[in-house]
């Protein structure tokens, strides 16, 4: 799961980024509206945390531009201005949720999990695929109730596939969503992670669709 | 009281001056014209008497018996009609013996009938005309002129002296004057009446812009217009412009105060967020202290920001906000924010006639807090209904949650009333809504909902004219 954090205050930005990374997300950060717009426009994010009072271009304008360009990732507005006037304006500009500062990191994480889940069309905090379950609140994967130990990269790949279960996910898609912007990417590593996951999971859960990518689905 | 009315009313001031001049000029004109006419009549009357006397003199003869007579009857027919009011009489002075006393030889006009004019005895010079006032027949008063004439008919006899008298009833002079007077006063009365009506109309038309101004102020107070609208004459227009600029300035001050409060809150909240996050990662004494203090500071900022909002509320005259769009906007936000909970938010149709007399931000704040509260506590269904009730808006927000026990409702609403004694905390939203509503002269009541949970009843002032003259309805 790859997130974008847009916040002009450097310390708060670092804190949020650190908190999200600790929760297992891949995180990019932007400090102003121009950067934010560019990143959100060019990379596929699973969710965006957006401050409204930004230098150069304000947050609402950035959000409207994304929505006008059909960028439909979930956006959570994180702002000090918490009047309903501002909330309605933010939601009408295309935001999916609204969190006022100061906030608790746990609250932000919970809201983001809910947003990402809803974007994938999942109602519950627990995703399931056959014997496989993913508790998004705790970042825990289990098979028939037995908790599975995964590295952070393995978890990201599996979580992305679980959120898009029964869909074909291309290798480049996976790369985009498990690595941050500035990371030195290598698409071959995806195959390594898939191979390791296949060893830990019951056979047949992850199938390779030749030339297209991978698909996670419950065995029939 | 009378003095008060005089000072207090432009209309009375204007009318009093005009009325005084109308009455004064009509009285003076009536008096002057009447006097002139009377004088003219008197002169004409005297001239007529003189003419008759001259004719009498010219036609005087003495008949065979030595009686004075007229060679030709005088032409005026009134002299033939008994008691007609115009008379003549000729006295033969010499025949009476002593000089100057009238003797039995006298001739009279037919009109005198059996009356004899008893002119006082005096001795005007020959040819001189004397005037008298005498009692006439049938109780009339007569205006009389006389002249003495000596006739030397034959040189051998002594000259005879006659007194020629012409008399006329003074009513012949007074009656036309009286008729003229009544006609004159009637005409002047009509003139004065017309002038008074004209003055009333003038004052009414002249002061009409003031009435318009009052109507415009009424519209402003009732929230139908944000400023004084209308074309005003050059004398009032500067006043109206000044007033409008004061209104604009007011609005600006309120907006600035609000912006500054918002800026302050924004400036405080980011550092608070940083402090809170920094403390959250650790588990020691300091971290716990920071966490609790950050929480307290967050609540204080929230509380005082809301208070500032309430203090600035309702200061703008002429603000009006349609209820429907605000509720729809808030429901869009609620559906999105509570998207994960599959809530059923039911907005009963809101008539476009429902317009709140106040600012949009305040309305959003009140309804937003109530809706958010309902969405937080509901088991799944929230219903919103609004209607016009006894001149005000009543908005009912129902949920099917657990509700609030009747005994605790007051406490929930009172929280935050005394900032220095109460610690603002959860449930603050409802008390802020109550405070804001009170600023606008409305209120918030909590009751049992037919859905099973809490019903929040928000009453707010409706903008005037909400049931009429709305454009596009």
| Beta-carbon-side half-sphere exposure of residue B382 (alpha carbons within 13 Å) | 23
B contact set with A (CB within 8 A): 262, 265-270, 272-278, 280, 294, 298, 302, 309, 329-330, 332-333, 336-337, 339-340, 342, 360-361, 364-365, 367-369, 372
CA distance, residue B308 to nearest chain A CA (Å): 12
CA distance, residue B403 to nearest chain A CA (Å): 23
Q: Which domain holds residue B234?
A: 224-313
pLDDT at B303 over 50: yes
CB B454 within 8 A of CB B427: no
> Which pLDDT score is estimated for B154?
64
Give mean pLDDT, residues A175-200: 80
Q: Is A100 on the interface with B (CB under 8 A)?
A: yes
What's the token pair of residue B429?
A: 């939203």
What's the token pair of residue B394?
A: 């009543």
CB B362 within 8 A of CB B307: no
- B58 and B114 inside one domain: yes
CB A78 within 8 A of CB A108: yes
> Which pLDDT score is estimated for B155?
61
- The answer as to whether B185 is a domain residue is no
Query: 3-state SS of chain B: helix, strand, coil percent to 5?
Result: 55, 20, 30
Out of B313, B340, B365, a domain closes at B313
- The answer as to whether B219 is a domain residue is no
> Which pLDDT score is estimated for B335?
87
- B48 and B89 inside one domain: yes
A:B CB pairs within 8 Å: 91
- Does the model's ipTM exceed the 0.90 cut? no
> Which pLDDT score is estimated for B383?
93
The percent of residues in chain B predicted with pLDDT above 90, rounded, is 19
pLDDT classification of B426: cutoffs 50, 70, 90? very low
pLDDT in tens, B30-58: 999 999 999 999 999 999 999 999 988 88
Low-confidence winner among A14-18, B67-71, B179-183 (lowest mean pLDDT): B67-71
Count of the separate structural domains present in chain B: 3
Interface test with B, best of A15, A83, A86 (most B CBs within 10 A): A83
Low-confidence winner among A113-127, A139-153, B19-33 (lowest mean pLDDT): A113-127
Interface test with B, best of A85, A96, A120 (most B CBs within 10 A): A85
pLDDT classification of B470: cutoffs 50, 70, 90? very low
Q: Which residues contact B299 (CB under 8 A, 6 or more apart)?
A: B423, B424, B425, B428
- B295 and B325 inside one domain: no
DSSP three-state, residue B129: strand
Low-confidence winner among A38-42, B59-63, B244-248, B461-465 (lowest mean pLDDT): B461-465
- B326 and B349 inside one domain: yes
Domains and CATH numbers, chain A: 2-119 (3.40.50.2300), 126-216 (1.10.10.10)
CA distance, residue A187 to nearest chain B CA (Å): 34
Give mean pLDDT, residues A117-143: 80
The winner for highest mean pLDDT among A182-191, B58-67, B409-418 is B58-67
> What residues in B contact A101, CB-CB < 8 Å?
269-270, 272-273
Out of B259, B283, B313, a domain closes at B313
Facing residue for A92 by CB, picked from B329, B360, B368: B329
Q: Which residues contact B472 (CB under 8 A, 6 or more apart)?
A: B352
Average pLDDT over all residues of chain B: 82
Facing residue for A84 by CB, picked from B266, B269, B368: B368
Give mean pLDDT, residues A2-16: 92
> Which pLDDT score is estimated for B472?
36
What's the token pair of residue A166?
A: 């029964």
Q: Give pairs for A182-185: CB < 8 Å, separation 24+.
A: A182/A28, A183/A26
pLDDT in tens, B311-351: 766 666 667 888 999 999 999 888 888 887 788 888 988 88
> What residues in B contact A85, CB-CB < 8 Å?
360-361, 364-365
Q: How far is residue B274 from each of residues A83, B142, B266, B280, B295, measured CA to CA in Å?
A: 21, 123, 13, 10, 12
Give mean pLDDT, residues A172-194: 79
Low-confidence winner among A7-21, A179-193, B345-359 (lowest mean pLDDT): A179-193
The CATH number of the domain holding residue B471 is 3.30.565.10
> What residues in B contact A126, CB-CB < 8 Å?
none
pLDDT in tens, A44-95: 899 999 998 888 898 999 999 999 888 889 999 988 877 888 889 999 898 9
Give mean pLDDT, residues B423-447: 75
pLDDT at B396 over 90: yes
- Residues B21, B144: Cα–Cα separation, whole Å: 43
> Which pLDDT score is estimated for B34?
92
- B305 and B360 inside one domain: no
CA distance, residue A106 to nearest chain B CA (Å): 10
Cβ–Cβ below 8 Å for A83 and B272 = no
- B21 and B162 inside one domain: yes
Out of B313, B334, B364, a domain closes at B313
> Which pLDDT score is estimated for B95?
55
Q: Is A96 on the interface with B (CB under 8 A)?
A: yes
Cβ–Cβ below 8 Å for A91 and B269 = no
- B30 and B172 inside one domain: yes
- Residues A30, A51: Cα–Cα separation, whole Å: 10
> Which pLDDT score is estimated for B158?
66
Beta bridge partners of B145: B131, B166
pLDDT at A139 over 70: yes
- The answer as to whether B287 is a domain residue is yes
- Residues A170, A152: Cα–Cα separation, whole Å: 20
- B108 and B61 inside one domain: yes
Q: Going by DSSP bridges, is the β-strand pair B321-322/B141-151 parallel, antiparallel, or unpaired?
A: unpaired
Task: Return the biggest CA–CA distance within chain B.
Answer: 170
- B470 and B323 inside one domain: yes
pLDDT in tens, B70-114: 888 888 888 888 888 889 988 887 654 444 555 567 888 888 888
């Amino acid at each position: 799961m790859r997130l974008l954090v847009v916040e002009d205050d450097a310390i708060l930005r670092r804190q949020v980024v650190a908190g999200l990374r600790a929760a297992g997300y891949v995180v990019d950060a932007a400090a102003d509206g121009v950067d934010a717009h560019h990143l959100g426009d060019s990379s596929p994010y699973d969710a965006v945390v957006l401050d409204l009072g930004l230098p150069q271009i304000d947050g609402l304008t950035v959000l409207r531009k994304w929505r006008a360009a059909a960028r439909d990732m979930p956006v959570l507005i994180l702002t000090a201005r918490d009047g309903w006037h501002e909330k309605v304006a933010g939601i009408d500009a295309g935001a999916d949720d609204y969190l006022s500062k100061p906030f608790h990191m746990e609250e932000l994480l919970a809201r983001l999990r809910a947003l990402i889940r809803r974007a994938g069309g999942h109602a519950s905090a627990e995703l399931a695929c056959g014997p496989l379950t993913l508790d998004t609140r705790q970042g825990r994967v289990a098979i028939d109730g037995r908790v599975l130990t995964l590295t952070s990269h393995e978890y990201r790949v599996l979580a992305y596939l679980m959120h898009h279960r029964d869909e074909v996910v291309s290798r480049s898609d996976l790369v985009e969503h498990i690595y941050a912007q500035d990371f030195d990417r290598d698409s071959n590593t995806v195959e390594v992670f898939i191979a390791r996951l296949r060893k830990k999971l019951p056979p047949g859960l992850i199938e390779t669709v030749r030339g297209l990518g991978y698909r996670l689905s419950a065995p029939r | 009281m009378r003095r008060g009315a005089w000072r207090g009313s432009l209309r009375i001031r204007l009318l009093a001056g005009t009325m005084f001049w109308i009455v004064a000029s009509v009285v003076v004109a009536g008096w002057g014209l009447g006097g002139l006419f009377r004088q003219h009549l008197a002169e004409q009357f005297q001239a007529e008497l003189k003419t008759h006397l001259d004719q009498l003199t010219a036609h005087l003869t003495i008949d065979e018996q030595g009686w004075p007579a007229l060679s030709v009857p005088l032409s005026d027919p009134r002299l033939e009609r008994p008691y007609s009011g115009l008379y003549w009489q000729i006295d033969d002075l010499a025949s009476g013996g002593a000089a100057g006393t009238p003797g039995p030889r006298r001739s009279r006009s037919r009109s005198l009938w059996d009356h004899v004019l008893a002119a006082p005895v005096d001795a005007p010079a020959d040819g001189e005309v004397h005037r008298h006032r005498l009692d006439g027949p049938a109780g009339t008063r007569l205006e009389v002129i006389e002249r003495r004439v000596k006739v030397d008919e034959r040189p051998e006899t002594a000259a005879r002296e006659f007194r020629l008298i012409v008399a006329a009833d003074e009513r012949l002079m007074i009656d036309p004057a009286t008729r003229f007077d009544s006609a004159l006063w009637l005409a002047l009365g009509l003139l004065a009446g017309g002038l008074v009506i004209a003055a009333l109309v003038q004052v009414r038309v002249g002061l009409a812009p003031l009435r318009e101004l009052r109507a415009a102020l009424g519209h402003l107070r009732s929230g139908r217009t944000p400023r004084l609208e209308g074309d005003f004459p050059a004398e009032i227009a500067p006043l109206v412009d000044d007033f409008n600029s004061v209104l604009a300035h007011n609005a600006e001050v309120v907006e600035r105060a609000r912006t500054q409060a918002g800026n302050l809150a924004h400036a405080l909240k980011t550092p608070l967020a940083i402090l809170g996050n920094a403390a959250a990662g650790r588990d020691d004494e300091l971290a716990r202290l920071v966490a609790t203090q950050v929480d307290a500071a967050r609540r204080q900022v929230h509380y005082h920001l809301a208070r500032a909002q309430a203090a600035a509320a309702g200061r703008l005259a002429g603000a009006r906000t349609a209820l429907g769009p605000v509720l729809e906007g808030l429901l869009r936000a609620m559906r999105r924010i509570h998207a994960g909970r599959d809530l059923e938010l039911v907005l009963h149709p809101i008539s476009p006639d429902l317009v709140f007399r106040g600012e949009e931000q305040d309305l959003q704040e009140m309804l937003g807090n109530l809706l958010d509260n309902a969405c937080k506590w509901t088991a799944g269904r929230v219903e919103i209904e609004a209607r016009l009730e006894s001149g005000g808006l009543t908005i009912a927000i129902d949920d099917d949650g657990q509700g609030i026990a009747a005994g605790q409702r007051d406490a929930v609403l009172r929280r935050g009333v005394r900032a220095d004694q109460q610690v603002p905390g959860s449930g603050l939203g409802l008390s802020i809504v109550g405070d804001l509503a009170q600023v606008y002269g409305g209120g918030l009541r909590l009751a049992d909902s037919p859905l099973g949970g809490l019903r929040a009843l928000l009453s707010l002032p409706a903008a005037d004219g909400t049931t009429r003259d709305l454009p596009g309805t």
